[in-house]
Structure 1
Amino acid sequence: MKHTRPIFDEEPAIKITRCGNSSICSQRNGKIMPASENNQNNSNQTGGNANGPNSADHSVDTNLYSRQIYALGESAMTHLRKASVLISGIGSVGLEIAKNVILGGVRHVTLHDQKLLTFGDLSACFYANESMVGENRAKISFTKLAELNDTVTCILHTEALNEEFVKQFDLVIVTDSPWEEQIKINNWMRKHGKLFISADARGLFSYAFVDLGEKFAVHDVDGETYNEVLLEHVNCETGEIFTLDKAYHGLEDGDHIVFEDFEIAELNKLTPTPVKTTAKGHIVNVGKALSSFSSVIDGPISRGRARKVKMPKFIEFKSLADALKLPEFMIWDFAKFDGSEHLHRLWQALYKFEKKHKRSPKPRSKKDAELFKAELEGTGTAEIPEQLLLNFSYQATGNLQPVASVIGGFVAQEAFKAVTHHTTPLKQFLYTDSCEALPGDYSSFDAGKLTEKDCEPRQTRYDGQAAVFGWSFQAALSKQNWFIVGAGAIGCELFKNMAMMGLAAGNGGLLKVTDPDTIEVSNLNRQFLFRRPDVGKKKSEVAARSMKQFNPAVNVQALSDIVSEATESVFNDDFFNQLNGVCNALDNVEARRYVDRRCVYYQLPLLESGTMGAKGNTQVVFPHLTESYGSTSDPPESETPVCTLKNFPYQIQHTIQWARSKFADHFTSVAETANQYLDDVNGFLGRLQQMTVSQKIELLRALNKALIDECPSSAEDCVKWARDLFDSLYRNEIMQLLHNFPPDQVTSQGQKFWSGTKRCPHPLNFDVDNPEHLEFVYSAAFLRAQLYNIEPISDPIKVAHLARAIISPEFKPREGIKIAITDAEAAANDEAGPEGDDSEKLLDTLNMNLARLKIDNIRRLTPIDFEKDDDTNHHIDFITAASNLRAENYTIEKADRMKTKQIAGKIIPALATTTSVVAGLVCIELYKIF
């Protein structure tokens, strides 16, 4: 993805039970039982009924959470599935936090609030409407929140909090609450060794605070995946180790490494060793760690690698009471370097004002601003800019969905860090200020000219937004026409934000959304508008319907056309000329570039964004003011040489890529080629004449195999083919390679041929009792049968019985076979032709065989397109088995199914928290466009 930067600057990282009169909770003997206390039976309660998962079920649905697991890791996901979290205050920020925490799969989530819904809440409470004003905020949202994830136990509590109640949770998150209440709860949590986070938002301002105790262990400080470094030379006396081909090691002083894949087993068992970098980027020093091995290893090595490992880091946090006096800040905007200290004082003054006056300062009230200024006494000495003070006072009743989305996503991510010990948490205050979104004197909505009357509440759902921008601005928002391209994770968050903003909610306004995709199970973890019953439905249609539920006044039109050159008759001049702007919510660069070109042509603003795990980016493209998206590009990704994949793999990525290629060769390309021939023989042969001799032979051989030599007539034939394929890939080809390049082969320079990145392989003999061997044959036979429209054998026992009966012929290596060592050598071999002087004779034979076919009697094949998210189709099963058997050939560490799926499917890690933050930032930028 393009221009990805961390959103989290500190290095990243349903059971519905009712009981009692005023609370809904899971109880045993009157006590809440979170997962950490191993509550075995949440359905046995006082006066309650239950539905949903067993509370002791900490299992992880890898289909549902796959993208999150790729971002956080399986260990972190397991911690989430055991955690219990209390969220107090289900206003705008609390609601966002709850949404993200529940989507993230935290095992037990208790929602608490005693406040009643007001009109001011409605601008950022997406599960509420005007008819609910006066009801408890947590009760209003509880059912909808509980529906977000049926693997999470959600509990409602509306009584006052006390120490006995809160101490049972692993983490308490407090929002929309004064310092006194926060300090009290924080002290309770510290007393019992538990974790605490708080947050709030007013207008364009927000903050978060984190206290994880006196000594919090972070097991993975940055959440990054490190590649191993191949080594070629070791100097045990000096402690210097040299990377292969002078590759950059990417290590820093103090990093720890372990040694792997050395021929000396004891070296591979060393504990993590600290390194010291040198002036040269391919050399690091490990001190005396290798001194005891000088007699057995010193100098050039045939194989070995170093891998950076994560070492735990311990962080000390202050209590909230102490942190208020001696705060530590994470800076949100480096253009406002002193901003955190200013905002620290302003938030203290606000809570003092509200305690004294039992209300917040009124929008644009100069009188209240003076009263507010008086509350700054005793909060610090930093001089606060007058305009910042006024903006803060004027926006104290403001409630903006985009700001809640940003801080709510951020805090939910901090919650994940807290309960998983994964990635470095916030230490300790974050203050945000997005006042650049206020219109200036260049705009007809100049915020500097707003009066109290312009922003006074009118008891509508937009009171909280009008308090910041005024009612004229709100009216203009309602008349906007925008086009949202994509209804995936970012799209869902954008729809929620835009609905609450009232974008296109008036006469003449219209939001158009398009997405050709249908909803899959893996979407549900972060695309919160969708539920399990929606799986298989069009994303755009379900998203539009959900948007109307958030705000019935929004005018939205759902489309399902892809935006490309092929659909310019749909997305034509009339379409674009009606728009005020475009929002991209796409998942690939080419589509982004195309939409960008259209926006440049029609001179429309474009709001661009993307995410990858805990990282994200936003970009504003504004006509005649900024560069376009296509003006810059990321450097191209490095590609693995074909010869490395074909004969000399040394990483599991290589074997997975090879297995993915074999899937395409055997189950997709061959069927497409055969169907092209069957549909139009003359046309096919005409295109064949344009190819080189080598290409003709390769293509005709594949056709002969598919339609004649290896064409199955039964499912048993498919098992036989799969069993033969095993021998061909994992025994015969390896034995031929070793025949050409024996294990003791040396180069013309006298060096070992099998060294460095070339790992000497060994052949595999089929063993039906080996689960991996049988899995390969089973899945390959299953797919082969589908390819030829034959009912597959679904019983693994029967497949094993058939495979056991197959006798493999002895392999005899062929002489004169050329095996290229480099891609350049392979290209030269292809140019020369694989069969030398016999090429034309071979071509004639292959053509004659095909000419004898009675095409009318042959059924078309069914090409199998790779689909990574269907566990019943055996696609990932085949690729995992094929890759790991290849890894076994070359003594490469194998990968589990999850990792194989991610690499083969090119899956981008994703988190609902990051999506929430990015979508919020996009909509804050949307404010600025007016």
Structure 2
Amino acid sequence: MSSAEVATNSIDPPAKKRKIATGETTPANSVSKANSVMANNGSVVSNQDIDEGLYSRQLYVLGHDAMRRMATSDVLISGLGGLGVEIAKNVILSGVKSVTLHDESLCTFSDLSSQFYLTEDYIGKNRAEVSCQFLAELNNYVPTRAYTGPLTDDFVKGFSVVVLTNSSYDEKRRISEITHASNVKLIIACTRGIFAQVFCDFGKDFVVVDTNGENPVSAMIANISKDEEGVVACLDDARHGLESDDYVTFSEVQGMIELNNCEPIKIKVLGPYTFSIGKTSDFSEYARGGIVHQVKMPKTLHFASYVESLEDPKVMITNFAKFDQPKQLHIAFAALDSYMKDKGKLPRPWNNEDAETFKSYCEKSVNNFKDAPELDATLIGKFAKTCRGNLNPVNAFIGGLVAQEVMKACSGKFHPIEQYLYFDAIECLPEQDISEDDCVVKNSRYDGQTVVFGHQLQKKLGSLKYFVVGAGAIGCELLKNFAMLGVGADGGEVTVTDMDLIEKSNLNRQFLFRPHDVQKSKSVTASKAVRRMNPYMNIVPHENRVGPETEKVYDDNFFEKLNGVANALDNVDARIYMDRRCVYYRKPLLESGTLGTKGNTQVVVPFITESYSSSQDPPEKSIPICTLRNFPNAIEHTLQWARDAFEGIFKQSAENAAQYLSDPNFIERTLRLPGVQPVEVLESLKLALVDERPRTMEDCVSWARNYWQEQYCNQIRQLLFNFPAEQVTSSGQPFWSGPKRCPVPLTFDVNEPLHLDYILAGANLKAEVYGIPQIRDRETIANMVKNVDVPEFTPKSGVKIAVNDAQLMPNGSGGGPIDQDKIGQLQNELPTQEELAELCVTPLEFEKDDDNNLHMDFIVAASNLRAANYNIPPADRHKSKLIAGKIIPAIATTTSVVAGLICLELIKLAQGINDINLFRNGFVNLSLPLFCFSEPIAAPKLKYYDKEWTLWDRFEVKGEMTLQEFIDYFKNEHGLEITMLSQGVCMLYAFFMPPVKLQDRINLPMSEVVRKVSKRKIESHVRALVFELCCNDRDGNDVEVPYVRYTLP
């Protein structure tokens, strides 16, 4: 192969969605116009299908249009070092048309500290050619090829986006002149040790179709004034969420109909519920109703060329605590280009002579820039002494960020960087300079790291013992970063646990997995993958859930040997549990999370910072029950209603029936339930086992048809009988106004696809529950449903329908008298277990990602039929899955960013840094983009008497002692009178306890009291008990005190 020959991946995409995979780079504009339509920025929106199974979570971040534009974009990435491979990995996963990897350099030892696809076996081989074989496996839909020749003008012009990494100044200038003149988007990225630079030039007129990626807001209208400056007032149940200069349009306005479907109007916000829209005095008088809709307007940006912006840079701030630092770094990176051009190499690590020489280059460069600041000699010195470094966490952070900019350039989705961005992690450096001896190059895989931090820190990293909880998207990135850093590779150990198996939708962002890994263990597969990246890493995979049930595994012995924990979890409950374990064992915690393009990191340091649980987000606002039952006004309401219907029909009712069939004591347990729950359960059983028990597929279709009639016709007719369309309230206002939308009953039509969708899905799911062979042929089901007898319905007087949740309270499960006669009647009507011996009922677990199980088919049909009742715009399957499935939008770029940031905190912890001012919590939003960094919040201090304490403190008490001795110990030793004492949910002692009960336990050993009260034995692995105290001081005042760790003998 000649040096300029292209190496193409041999992995073909599936035939149905195969793309051009030749050895040539095909420009985006060569796509046939017959199969595409023009979009912004000269891109095209292809009609080609998107594999929603693979790109599911990313689609919820970007949307279909942006993904289609990306699928027509050819990307060139030059430089396959640690930064280049991070960018390439994320861009390939994102689903662009093709990626070409360019590099003329050969692999060296310094690459191995962050280039995760290179090992010692590849030293001396071309980086692009080696990397291509691994990167090509990431996404079968993206042809990936290596190119090792020069970047000629014509070659560069064939791409939609060009990315240069760690290129020379001459190369950057030459390529930028080509791209700027040809409207090819250019991104220049450079990482040097703990410092980084990103530059974007997307052309003279770049159109952003959506600047922030947030869903457009809408709000219901209470009033619109007829005035020179019309004011819109929204209902006060929720803020409108708009900002001044937003654009809006209107629908369903009665009276002032001129506003309906009007051209977008620019607004001025007057308050959380009001805004002005300009002149409305010529419009009709407002009557009632209406919805305001935010409209996303395109924004055109004008980018300067690289050479123009170099002298007068437009810089985006990433850290407002370092407001002036970007200008310093702009000078430093420019001076480094000059230094390397003159000397052909970078300054030597921690070498004072080279640092001084570099400083002189900076002093010369100052004169080339407008408004140049006075040089910060300390910062410039550290830049010079560490710029030979090649750090994985910095490359991971910048690699994720740059990949997102590539996606913006391809799609016009989200606001790009204008135009420079600088980043540093100077807080990671040790307080004292490292000696040159400690950072001498040893032809080691960690050379790129030791030239920054020295060999002593590398030894510490290798000896670390860490617990990574989760091997999903963040977990994969963390493990890769740990492998590159050498964590657990020199006497240490990394334990990773994840109880999940790999699914197809994981492959788009969990880059350690491949299609052939689907249904394999995440933790085991990820461990094998990172061992290939760093064979020296000692990693132990587990497949356990973390929680009280696995504390036999993750016990005192396990936690006490750890140096720290890294969470890679996707739910708050597990995070809180691990946080509490870390507080108890006094271990550092690295916490990170993502939501679409948003990400956050938090470092928890024992005795210094607050814990993860110290502050929490407010709970999600729930939908009122009455809104769901009778008064929906948004598609979210109908989808939640549909999901509740699925759970009630196919899971909860079936679970009751299955337990009745298998558990002889089920009825006895049911009768002990509080309130009206026994009646509700028995009625559910009678429906499942008697009234609605199907025996054939025809029965299932009959049930589905009659259930359709009840839900979408009869109940609506009853609702309108109680509250007619023209009804007014006691105040004279229309009842059906504001958030209450007046419904209309539906008439079943077998020829309506949505109606038949519901019957087909509902009938087959019912059949699945009862083990009846399914029939999925639409024509057969349609013929069956035509023969179903549907009883006539007449609305009844006296039926009570709650208008708000307060009216529901008396009918809740805890209230109302128990109807024993009804309970007895229901029991008598149930068949015996012997009579049902041959029946098998299988409850269904909702699974949103299986397109063949009909779960989402039922949800979509049920929701959109309900939406038709209330004239609510329907939702397609994609949106319905997001809402009903409670899917968290996710994208590989954000995951890479947060994993990189949190691993910088790991480096600080490994050094033993204990200054809170040097740690950083981070929040990023790559769509804006926005970066916020702050010192962690210190652990709040509390006090009793003159003793200060935080959540990290506790009383250490060595047992065994009796309850009385325990109480006396705190009174004598600490001057505290215990008024209440608990262990978990068990109250062991209280000052108001009846004397008989107190006398029964006061002289028992504490462990025996726990056993007696909890009615459980203490497990053999438990070495200590945790007690919570309520105490009075000597003056009788309540005081807050730490918990007690009571060590068992």
TM tier relative to shorter chain: over 0.9
Structure 1: distance between partners of 2:24 and 2:511: 31
1:38 to 31, 34, 40: 31
Verify: 1:579 aligned to 2:562, yes or no.
yes
Partner of 1:495, secondary structure, is: helix
Which amino acid in the other structure matches residue 454 of structure 2? G
Alpha carbons 1:19, 1:25 under 8 Å: kept: no
CA 21–676 in structure 1, closer or farther in 2 if over 3 Å, else same: same
CA 30–142 in structure 1, closer or farther in 2 if over 3 Å, else same: closer
- Structure 1 residue 266: Cα displacement: 5.1
Alpha carbons 1:25, 1:32 under 8 Å: kept: no
Tell me what 1:801 maps to.
Answer: 783
Alignment gaps of 5+ in structure 2: 10-19, 34-44, 367-371, 912-1049
Which amino acid in the other structure matches residue 78 of structure 1? R
Tell me what 1:393 maps to.
Answer: 384
Tell me what 2:12 maps to.
Answer: none
Structure 1: distance between partners of 2:622 and 2:838: 39
- Structure 1 residue 712: Cα displacement: 0.8
2:425 to 413, 427, 434: 434
Tell me what 1:413 maps to.
Answer: 404
- Structure 1 residue 281: Cα displacement: 2.5
Which amino acid in the other structure matches residue 924 of structure 1? L
- Structure 1 residue 686: Cα displacement: 4.1
CA 717–468 in structure 1, closer or farther in 2 if over 3 Å, else same: same
- Structure 1 residue 689: Cα displacement: 4.2
Tell me what 1:8 maps to.
Answer: none
Tell me what 2:516 maps to.
Answer: 533
Tell me what 1:121 maps to.
Answer: 111
Which amino acid in the other structure matches residue 405 of structure 2? E
Provide Cα deviations, 1:270-299, integer angstroms capped at 9, x if missing partner.
011111222x422211112x44432xx42x
CA 312–772 in structure 1, closer or farther in 2 if over 3 Å, else same: same
Structure 2: distance between partners of 1:353 and 1:20: 29
Tell me what 1:375 maps to.
Answer: 361
Provide Cα deviations, 1:533-568, integer angstroms capped at 9, x if missing partner.
111011000000001010000000000111101110
Provide Cα deviations, 1:457-505, integer angstroms capped at 9, x if missing partner.
1111111001001111111111110000000000000011110111111
2:345 to 352, 355, 359: 359
Partner of 1:120, secondary structure, is: helix
1:562 to 545, 549, 570: 545
Tell me what 2:880 maps to.
Answer: 900
Alpha carbons 1:217, 1:312 under 8 Å: kept: yes
Alignment gaps of 5+ in structure 1: 1-17, 41-54, 441-446
Stretch of structure 1 that moved more, 231-240 or 763-772: 231-240
1:489 to 473, 484, 487: 473
Alpha carbons 1:676, 1:684 under 8 Å: kept: no
Tell me what 2:438 maps to.
Answer: 454
- Structure 1 residue 391: Cα displacement: 1.3
CA 19–81 in structure 1, closer or farther in 2 if over 3 Å, else same: farther
Structure 1: distance between partners of 2:726 and 2:76: 64
Tell me what 1:444 maps to.
Answer: none
Listed as ranges, the matches of 1:211-222 within 5 Å are 211-222=201-212
Which amino acid in the other structure matches residue 199 of structure 1? A
- Structure 1 residue 841: Cα displacement: 4.8
- Structure 1 residue 375: Cα displacement: 1.8
Structure 2: distance between partners of 1:732 and 1:853: 34
Tell me what 2:845 maps to.
Answer: 865
Partner of 1:582, secondary structure, is: strand
Partner of 1:293, secondary structure, is: coil
Partner of 1:894, secondary structure, is: coil
Tell me what 1:692 maps to.
Answer: 675
Which amino acid in the other structure matches residue 161 of structure 1? L
- Structure 1 residue 663: Cα displacement: 0.3
Structure 1: distance between partners of 2:596 and 2:871: 31
CA 602–616 in structure 1, closer or farther in 2 if over 3 Å, else same: same
Provide Cα deviations, 1:763-808, integer angstroms capped at 9, x if missing partner.
1111111111111111111111110111111222211111122242
Verify: 1:890 aligned to 2:877, yes or no.
no
Alpha carbons 2:57, 2:505 under 8 Å: kept: yes
Which amino acid in the other structure matches residue 878 of structure 1? F
Which amino acid in the other structure matches residue 338 of structure 1? D
CA 686–123 in structure 1, closer or farther in 2 if over 3 Å, else same: closer
Which amino acid in the other structure matches residue 918 of structure 1? V
Structure 1: distance between partners of 2:607 and 2:634: 47
Structure 1: distance between partners of 2:531 and 2:117: 11
CA 126–20 in structure 1, closer or farther in 2 if over 3 Å, else same: closer
- Structure 1 residue 716: Cα displacement: 1.9
Stretch of structure 1 that moved more, 67-76 or 878-887: 67-76
- Structure 1 residue 251: Cα displacement: 1.9
Stretch of structure 1 that moved more, 144-153 or 451-460: 451-460
Verify: 1:250 aligned to 2:241, yes or no.
yes
CA 802–266 in structure 1, closer or farther in 2 if over 3 Å, else same: farther
Partner of 1:64, secondary structure, is: helix
Provide Cα deviations, 1:633-684, integer angstroms capped at 9, x if missing partner.
1111111110000000000000000000000000000111112222334442
Alpha carbons 2:654, 2:843 under 8 Å: kept: yes
Listed as ranges, the matches of 1:514-913 within 5 Å are 514-693=497-676, 695-830=677-812, 841-850=821-830, 854-913=834-893
Report the TM-score, using the length of structure 2 for normalisation: 0.82
* Count of paired positions: 883
Which amino acid in the other structure matches residue 201 of structure 1? T
Tell me what 2:262 maps to.
Answer: 270
Alpha carbons 1:678, 1:855 under 8 Å: kept: no
Provide Cα deviations, 1:82-119, integer angstroms capped at 9, x if missing partner.
11111111111111000000011111111111111111
Structure 1: distance between partners of 2:429 and 2:899: 18
Structure 2: distance between partners of 1:198 and 1:387: 26
Structure 2: distance between partners of 1:136 and 1:808: 74
- Structure 1 residue 25: Cα displacement: 6.0
Structure 1: distance between partners of 2:350 and 2:22: 52
Structure 2: distance between partners of 1:630 and 1:433: 29
Tell me what 1:6 maps to.
Answer: none
Alpha carbons 1:115, 1:137 under 8 Å: kept: yes
Verify: 1:914 aligned to 2:894, yes or no.
yes
Alpha carbons 1:92, 1:121 under 8 Å: kept: yes
Partner of 1:201, secondary structure, is: strand
Alpha carbons 2:697, 2:775 under 8 Å: kept: yes
Partner of 2:236, secondary structure, is: helix
Verify: 1:283 aligned to 2:274, yes or no.
yes
CA 431–110 in structure 1, closer or farther in 2 if over 3 Å, else same: same
Verify: 1:316 aligned to 2:296, yes or no.
no
Tell me what 2:332 maps to.
Answer: 346
Alpha carbons 1:111, 1:155 under 8 Å: kept: yes
- Structure 1 residue 519: Cα displacement: 0.5
- Structure 1 residue 267: Cα displacement: 3.1
Alpha carbons 1:120, 1:397 under 8 Å: kept: no
Stretch of structure 1 that moved more, 856-865 or 394-403: 856-865
1:92 to 75, 82, 102: 82
Which amino acid in the other structure matches residue 576 of structure 1? F
Structure 2: distance between partners of 1:602 and 1:246: 45
Alpha carbons 2:8, 2:22 under 8 Å: kept: no
Structure 2: distance between partners of 1:56 and 1:282: 41
- Structure 1 residue 690: Cα displacement: 3.4
- Structure 1 residue 19: Cα displacement: 9.3
Alpha carbons 1:486, 1:586 under 8 Å: kept: yes
Which amino acid in the other structure matches residue 306 of structure 2? L
Structure 1: distance between partners of 2:642 and 2:237: 29
Tell me what 1:502 maps to.
Answer: 486
Q: What is the percent sequence identity of the aligned residues? A: 46
Alpha carbons 1:87, 1:172 under 8 Å: kept: yes
Verify: 1:336 aligned to 2:322, yes or no.
yes
Tell me what 1:5 maps to.
Answer: none
